[in-house]
Amino acid sequence: MRIRSKKSNGAASKLVAMAKKGSSKATIFFIFVSFILFCAFLPVFAPLPSFHSHSPHRSHRNTVNRKFEIASDRFWRDGEPFQIIGGDLHYFRVHPEYWEDRLLKAKALGLNTIQTYVPWNLHEPAPEKFVFEGFANIEAFLKLCHKLGLLVMIRPGPYICAEWDWGGFPGWFHSINPTPKPRSSDPTYLQLRSLEVEIVVTSSEIWLLSLKFKVERWWGNLLPKFVPLLYDNGGPIIMVQIENEFGSYGDDKAYLHHLVILARDHLGQDVILYTTDGGVRENLEKGSIRGDAVFSAVDFSTGDDPWPIFNLQKEFNAPGKSPPLSAEFYTGWLTHWGEKIATTDADFTAAALEKILQKNGSAVLYMAHGGTNFGFYSGANTGVDEADYKPDLTSYDYDAPIRESGDVDNSKFNAIRRVIARYSSVPLPSVPSNNEKGRYGPIHLQRKAFLFDTFDFTNSTNVFESETPMPMEYVGQLFGFVLYITEYRAKRGGRILLIPKLHDRAQVFISCPSEEDGATPTYVGTIERWLNSKLSLPDVKCHSNINLFILVENMGRVNYGAYIFDRKGILSSVYLDGEKVKGWKMFPIPLHNLNEMSTYNPITQASFSAFSEIRSSRKKLTYKHENTSKEPAFYSGHFSIDKSSQVMDTFISFSNWGKGIVFVNDFNIGRYWPLRGPQCNLYVPAPILKQGDNFLVILELESPDPELVVHTVSEPDFTCGSSGTSLHQL
């Protein structure tokens, strides 16, 4: 029930305090709201139905004679015992034109099931803006799995981890005040119903209560798409996961129960729901749902003895309802910037898998194929505290048997395939060949503009002003960069700059506007979240206040652990010599992300890139040592492919460059940082390229190659930086 319902602005939705006037109307209003919230929470504590109880909400009739179920501690497919030999392959990390290629290679590996996450932030990049096209066309991916004879285990979260930005949660959560508390029974996070009540106190005062509830709205748009694709309805989906490794994070059972009720409401009572938790008692106690309603699966380190863990798994499932399943059998591991590339031995991995399969256990390889963190979607982890920040690489190769570019001619693919062949119920398909790689020679670049030239600092309409710095999300910049600007008085001996809470990395510049050439921003240093040291600003003789520019980069929200509440930008006051600096301007920098179209792209129209703030009539700043300066700048170049048959996968090597992001034909292929390593080259899938001219745009943040050239190469390279000289064998 709603009173005068209307659409609200989800990105800025908030509960407005009603403290100005007390009245009988306000009293009635609060009683009404309390009643609504009470009714909304009743279902959370209702008992959960078993696998086969009748749905109180709606029925989904099985019109085909198919059945996937659990009995006698085994999986059963159409009345026959079934062993899941699966693998994770994430549709959002693979170009859609390559989905079939990667799935056929997974099938040739011997897999009969594909497991995939569903990232909420890709599908709802802005409040109530749902996207299911391009990289986000999950229905097309699932139908392709079905066409190729592969079953599917789907993991719709709402939290997914996955080394993906904020574990899949939308960044716009952070623009809401108060921010919803993810992974909890917080009503502003869970509920769908949009209750907006207006009470007019006077002609000029409106009290607005807006409770925009998130998870129900998201699943209400997503889960109905799965119904015709459920196995019992003739589709490929055999199981649907609830949350993800929740026992490693919390113990809010009301939250898990609510998700189960939501899933049953949309999917019916016959589909198998499952949880996945680490194979230790504490995690299973907190993350599983005892009884017959939800199947509890486990994961554990590769090489651990699986069978004691599978015996523990039985304690958290109903009798006869615990087929042994490792829902994440790790074929490799993730790598952060600054680390050695992680690898695992092929024969060791294959032998560990065989210990599961030889006793009729089931396993899902994490990963079968890793893919790429295109755009700004790579996640991050933390160590001992929030400041011990570890951002993930652009590559999500994961040392998986199917490599980032789809290559299968490697020892791990062959070793795992040999093991699976011994236990597969059907002969394995022949192995497809690797995709051809192209080398298009060196690409010579030209500097098109320094980043600071792209702003009109005096007349910009896209600027936010505040006494203190505002987080990136508050100015509508969910990914990438924000430029913070203020001014301070010159002081003999210089100044000491301190930013107590910075997420994640800042480059600092100063300028003296009163000098003839002093408007040129001069680089003075970098502050990083994981070091968070003070920065000395030089002594500058200036007859006016000195301009302070702080360019802050969001390097990916934390996706796992206790510190996943990871707002970005400058999150504290800024201090000079211990005194707070007041009076700030924030300039968003609108670079487009994965699966987004650039609304303005002057690089292809006027040999420039990415911003609508260019003023061609404005005098450009003067820079010295243009090819070696520390000022961020845009560079562009092009290369030609003569024939359509020559359009192939390639890699772009950034070995002599510093740090930045790259667009190929307006597609954001991700971050590079060879100075930190270990990744030197970025993968460019062939579907991004075309016959004829292909355009490359680079935003280099630090130090361009003095020759302004990049090279296209045919192989990945993980040997850059001081960390990249050797492999990290796990």
Q: Which residues are catalytic?
A: 245, 328
The set of residues, in sequence order, having a beta carbon less than 8 Å from that of 7 and lying 6+ positions away, is none
Strands 442-444 and 692-700: unpaired
Distance of alpha carbon 230 from alpha carbon 270, whole angstroms: 9
Q: How many alpha carbons fall within 13 Å on the CB side of residue 473? A: 20
Amino acid in position 358? Q
The set of residues, in sequence order, having a beta carbon less than 8 Å from that of 670 and lying 6+ positions away, is 372, 373, 374, 375, 378, 394, 661, 662, 682
Q: Which residues of 36-45 are buried (b: 16+ CB within 10 A; e: fewer)?
A: beeebeeebe
Residue with tokens 């993968």: 683
Q: Cα separations (Å) of 395 from 64, 123, 375, 554, 712?
A: 42, 21, 11, 17, 17
DSSP class of 8: -
710, two tokens: 């990049």
Neighbour tally for 342: CB within 10 Å: 20
Distance of alpha carbon 97 from alpha carbon 116, whole angstroms: 17
Q: Please say whether the beta carbons of 569 and 501 come within 8 A.
A: no
The set of residues, in sequence order, having a beta carbon less than 8 Å from that of 595 and lying 6+ positions away, is 122, 131, 133, 134, 135, 136, 375
**E strands within 347-488?**
362-369, 380-382, 389-391, 442-444, 446-450, 464-466, 480-488
Sheet holding 480-488, edge to edge: 464-466, 584-589, 480-488, 546-554, 505-511, 522-528
Distance of alpha carbon 41 from alpha carbon 33, whole angstroms: 13
H helix or E strand, kind and range, residue 151: strand 151-155
Amino acid in position 23? S
Amino acid in position 521? P
Is there a cis peptide before residue 401, judged by omega within 30 degrees of 0?
Answer: no
Q: Is 131 helix (H, G, I), strand (E, B) or coil?
A: coil
Distance of alpha carbon 111 from alpha carbon 114, whole angstroms: 7
